[in-house]
Structure formats: structure tokens, C-alpha cells
């Protein structure tokens, strides 16, 4: 397998599990619009803006939202945008959804889910902006296959973006930064944003807990800002992996 190919097994459907937070996520999703879990994250494809009570006009999707600090702070300041945050870990996802519910926010929802299945969650051209902050670098060479931001994944993000949609990424890992930049440059439907425009957006993004730690340690931080300039299709490899689960992509 090519080191830049994400394992096909990671596109598999959800299974019942014993994690105690799985039930808590389900209960919270019955009480609030700030939480969804597993297969229920795939029920609003193409209609996300309609689940928010704030009548939003734009959709920002954070991948790897952890405890939700960044998206929550941004949602407080921008009621016209619906903020979705996806997190794989049950406990962290639940904490984010619970905090948003306790704050009474109407323009945010946290999803406990698998971002490899994003085409089941989002429709083609549905997203205005993707935000990815400090993804796991999987630093050892033998782990590189697990790196999320491979060329196919970047193409998939572009497929899900609206025309002129944007991708913003930060990492503290130098080798992963090179890998990310190569993946971004390989995708011809996007190009690098002007630095001034990128800086204007980053100024609005609160520092995540990880970024605060890295800055205290004076570690370098690498940031990327790209925008969609042309049409993109879903990578064949991802399409066929998901089609095997008898899902219909639109």
C-alpha cells in the first residue's frame, strides 16, 4: 500500500460499542441540537443549514474538534454561520456538545464520527470552510499510512466545498507540514490564498489548547490556507470504498 493511501478499512460503517460515552452522546442528541453521534451524523446530508435555529447562511466544518473550544468561541461571535465539529473520541465529543448545550448556542453541533465518511455526512458543494487544527502527525514512518491529510482526502474536501470555499490547516510537526503541503499542491482544484486574506481569517480563530501549549514552548507552527478555484470530484478510491457499504452518493 502506498504510504499516502488511507486504509480502506477506515471507511467501514459504525458498530455497537461499549464506550460509556456512546449512550451519553445519544441522550444528549435527544435533548439538544448541539450533539449527534455515529450513523445519526449521516441523516442531514445536504440540509445542515436547516437544523440550526439561528438561520445561518454559511457552514464551517472543523475536523478534529477535540473539546470544541475553538468552534464554540467562533460560534459565539458569528451567529450567521453554522459550526460543525467532528471528533472521533467519544468523551471529547460529548464534552464539546454538552458545553455548547449549556451555553445555549443555536448555531453549532458536534459530531462524534469518522471523518473518512464525510461524503456520507455532507453533500457535494455544501461546505464554505474546513478548519483542521493540529491533526495527529503519526510521526513514525510505519504510521504514515494513518495520516489523514493525504491527496485523496484533500480532493474529497475540495469536492465537498462550495465554489471559492476554503481549507485552513495548522500543525506543529515539521515533517507532517511538508506532507500536508505536498498533498495540497497535488490537488489542482484549489490554490494557495493570498497571505493577507489568510492572516485576516487566522486572526479570528482563537488559539486551541494545543496551540497555546506549542506557543508557550516556542515551537514553530505551520499554517496553510487554500481556496477552491475549480470543480473537484470524489476520488474513485473513496467512492468505491463507500459504495461497497451500499450507500448512494449524490
Residue 102 falls in the annotated catalytic set? no
**Cβ 108 vs Cβ 34: under 8 Å:** yes
**Cβ 46 vs Cβ 121: under 8 Å:** no
- Phi, psi torsion values for 148, nearest 5 degrees: -75, -40
**Cβ 70 vs Cβ 16: under 8 Å:** no
d(CA 117, CA 138): 20
Nearest to 131 by CA among 95, 78, 168: 168
- Phi, psi torsion values for 93, nearest 5 degrees: -60, -45
The single residue of 38, 102, 128, 136 carrying the catalytic annotation is 136
Maximal CA-CA distance, the chain? 48
d(CA 108, CA 128): 15
d(CA 229, CA 157): 13
Which residues, listed in sequence order, are joined to residue 35 by a DSSP beta bridge?
Answer: 110
Burial code (b: 16+ CB inside 10 Å, e: under 16) for 142-170 equals: eebbebbbbbbbbbbbbbbbeeebbbbbb
Catalytic residues: 136
Amino acid at each position: 500500500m502506498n504510504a499516502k493511501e488511507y486504509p480502506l478499512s477506515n471507511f467501514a460503517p459504525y458498530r455497537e460499542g461499549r464506550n460509556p460515552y456512546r449512550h451519553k452522546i445519544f441522550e444528549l442528541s435527544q435533548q439538544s441540537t448541539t450533539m449527534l453521534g455515529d450513523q445519526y451524523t449521516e441523516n442531514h446530508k445536504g440540509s445542515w443549514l436547516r437544523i440550526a435555529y439561528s438561520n445561518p447562511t454559511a457552514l464551517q466544518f472543523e475536523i478534529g474538534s477535540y473539546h470544541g473550544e475553538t468552534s464554540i468561541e467562533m460560534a459565539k461571535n458569528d451567529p450567521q454561520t453554522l459550526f460543525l465539529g467532528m471528533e472521533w473520541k467519544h468523551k471529547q465529543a460529548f464534552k464539546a456538545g454538552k458545553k455548547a448545550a449549556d451555553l445555549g448556542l443555536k448555531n453549532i453541533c458536534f459530531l462524534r464520527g469518522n471523518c473518512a465518511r464525510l461524503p456520507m455526512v455532507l453533500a457535494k458543494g455544501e461546505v464554505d470552510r474546513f478548519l483542521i487544527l493540529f491533526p495527529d502527525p503519526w510521526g513514525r514512518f510505519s504510521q504514515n499510512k494513518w495520516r489523514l491529510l493525504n491527496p485523496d482526502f484533500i480532493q474529497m474536501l475540495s469536492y465537498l466545498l462550495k465554489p471559492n470555499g476554503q481549507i485552513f490547516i495548522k500543525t506543529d510537526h515539521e515533517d507532517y507540514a511538508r506532507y500536508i503541503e505536498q498533498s495540497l499542491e497535488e490537488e489542482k482544484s484549489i490554490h494557495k490564498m493570498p497571505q493577507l486574506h489568510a492572516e485576516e481569517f487566522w486572526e479570528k480563530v482563537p488559539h486551541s489548547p494545543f496551540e497555546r501549549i506549542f506557543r508557550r514552548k516556542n515551537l514553530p507552527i505551520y499554517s496553510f490556507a487554500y481556496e477552491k478555484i475549480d470543480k473537484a470530484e470524489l476520488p474513485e478510491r473513496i467512492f468505491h470504498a463507500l459504495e461497497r457499504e451500499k450507500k448512494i452518493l449524490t
